Homo-oligomer: A and B are copies of this chain.
Amino acid sequence: MGGRRMGPLNTQRADVFRVPCRGPGDLAGVQALVDAGELNPADIVAVLGKTEGNGCVNDFTREYASVSWCRWLADRLAISEGEAERRVALVMSGGTEGVLSPHFTVFTRKPAPPGRGGKRLVVGRAATRDFAPDELGRMAQVQATAQAVAEAMADAGIASAADVHFVQVKCPLLSSAALAKAKAPVTHDTYESMGYSRGASALGVALALGEVAQAELSDASVCADWARYSKRASASAGIELQGNVVVVFGEAEGSASPLRIGHTVMADAIDAESVRRLLAGLGGTLVNLFAKAEASPNGAVRGRRHTMLQDSDLHATRHARAAVGAVLASVTGETALYVSGGAEHQGPPGGGPVAAIVRVAP
């Protein structure tokens, strides 16, 4: 797990930069922040990007953005592109349907004298070991993820699960190569394996945060028992890794960050009220929202039929991002929001977790 190690970690200062881009390979805005002395590339620990592809299987805008970031980081930090990829958690989410606007959210942290303004944003990271193909989408992945969440909380200086507000997981999938080595994989389909991996990862987060009890979970729970879920997990599957990378976003006393974070759960795709309450409670100026969206699996929103799951021209995740993105934009007046699809065990069926980071008086 890359980046420079923190000392006593609640003396860190975490910052967040939201940077618009003109395309998946456009880092001019990021470079401008560096040139202006606002952003130090060496402090970057994670990037959550929204790129303008379809967010589904053949979305190359994610890979293109990741490659561009690796190249840029390698050049700035005089390291290899492989090292850059290990150092920074690059999570690219495709799909800016409707009003959503492509952008990168860049997270930094650096040592700092303790702040005295009360709880403020902290960021922590950890990684699991690599998984065997037969472990993916099963309890082995659930438990390793839970362990990594605990480690990332320690890395962030967070003592209580109540202070965790968003957990981003990057998780592997079963590639053709992995499937060839597997004995009894959870699925033989690469695309389906992405859902299982996200689902097991989210349940791992739920387990670590006490949202679900160990006794409630078994291999059979993953992508089946939808009543078990995390209100704070956001998982994204990618082909470039074999273990999970976990980034925990929460709050701690003593953090020197000028930012706060909170979370809520949208009960369904049009639940603007929950987000309005979250933002009113947090105060401050919005830096970004982080939300998961999905088409309600029962085929209805508030009792009325929707057509997202029957549309063979347009994937349901694209419909869902367009809808949730517009609702959140109407609440915040801002369209460069992180709204991601594919929400297995991430929030209730048809709804999803939402975290908000806001800038407050330091």
Contact = CB atoms under 8 A, between A and B. Distances in A.
A312 B315 contact: yes
Nearest to A335: B304
Contact of A270 (B22, B318, B320, B330): B330
A326 interface: yes
B57 A60 contact: no
Interface string A238-282: 000000000000000000000000000000011110000000000
Contacts of A329: 270, 301, 323, 327
A60 B71 contact: no
B322 A60 contact: no
Interface in A327-342: 327, 329-331, 333-336
A306 to B, nearest CB: 5
Contacts of A311: 52, 57-58
A329 B315 CA distance: 21
A20 interface: yes
Nearest to A55: B312
A307 B20 contact: no
B63 A306 contact: no
Task: Classify the interface of chain A: helix, strand, loop or mixed.
Answer: loop
Interface in A55-76: 56-61, 63-64, 67-68, 71
Contacts of A307: 52, 58, 96, 100-102
A302 interface: yes
Q: Number of contact residues on A: which range applies?
A: 35 or more
A87 to B, nearest CB: 20
B326 A97 contact: no
Contacts of A102: 305, 307
Interface string A10-54: 000000000010111100000000000000000000000000111
24 contacts: A20-B305, A23-B60, A52-B58, A57-B310, A63-B64, A96-B306, A96-B307, A97-B319, A97-B322, A98-B319, A100-B306, A101-B306, A270-B326, A270-B329, A270-B335, A271-B330, A306-B335, A312-B315, A319-B322, A322-B326, A323-B326, A323-B329, A324-B326, A326-B326
Interface of A: 20, 22-25, 52-54, 56-61, 63-64, 67-68, 71, 96-102, 269-272, 301-302, 304-308, 310-315, 318-320, 322-327, 329-331, 333-336
